[in-house]
Structure 1
Amino acid sequence: MDNVVQWSKEVLQLTMVNRMDQWVEESTRYKGEEESSLVDLVFTKRPVPPPIILYLIPMGRSDHVTLEI
């Protein structure tokens, strides 16, 4: 679990230093009876206009939605 915490801190630091925005707002992973989660991220440095993100059905047997940007 320590690696996950360290990775999370590094990603947060990277986004703050580079003034980046994360745009995915809906859950992107659905697996059976498990609670859905937001695990796919889209970062940009341009705040305006925000990207249009379409949440599409998974490809093949994936449990992640397909993001079209």
Structure 2
Amino acid sequence: MENAGQWSEKVLQLTMVNTMDQWVKESTRYRGEEEPSLLDLVSTKKPESPPIIQYLSPVGKSDHVTLEMQMQEEDEISYREDYKEERD
């Protein structure tokens, strides 16, 4: 079984190899007197406008904030055509 450090390294490598962008920038976990931490991630691969992310109150007894994300919808047909052109 892998330890947390090995898992974290694999996630980082996957993100870098696939040129993904990570959009969550603020702490998402608050537990008692512990230092807040950024544990929840939102990553995308294709170029797009950054999502609008709102950090809301936790649901129930969770110590994680609720992330509400709004992304710009892309015209699916033009995206498919661009993809086809790249492959020809």
The question of a shared fold, defined as TM-score above 0.5 by the shorter chain, is answered with: yes
Letter in 2 for 1:49: S
Matched length = 68
Return structure 1 stretches of 4+ with deviation > 4 angstroms: none
Q: Quick one: which amino acid aligns to residue 51 of structure 1?
A: P
Identity within the alignment, %: 72
Cα distance, 1:47 vs. partner? 3.7
Q: CA RMSD in A?
A: 1.1
Inter-partner Cα distance in structure 2 for 1:44 and 1:33: 32
Rg bigger for which structure? 2
CA deviation vs aligned residue, 1:8-38 (integer Å, no higher than 9, x gap) = 1100110011110100000000011111010
Q: For residue 13 of structure 2, what is the amino acid of its counterpart? A: Q
Aligned residue for 1:53? 53
Flag structure 1 segments of 5+ consecutive residues without an equivalent. none
Matches within 5 A, 1:1-69: 3-69=3-69
Can you list the C-alpha shifts for 1:22-69, whole angstroms capped at 9, x where unaligned? 000000000111110101000001343101111000000000000011
Where do 5+ consecutive residues of structure 2 fail to align?
70-88
Could you say which structure has the greater relative contact order, defined with CA pairs below 8 angstroms and 6 or more residues apart? 1
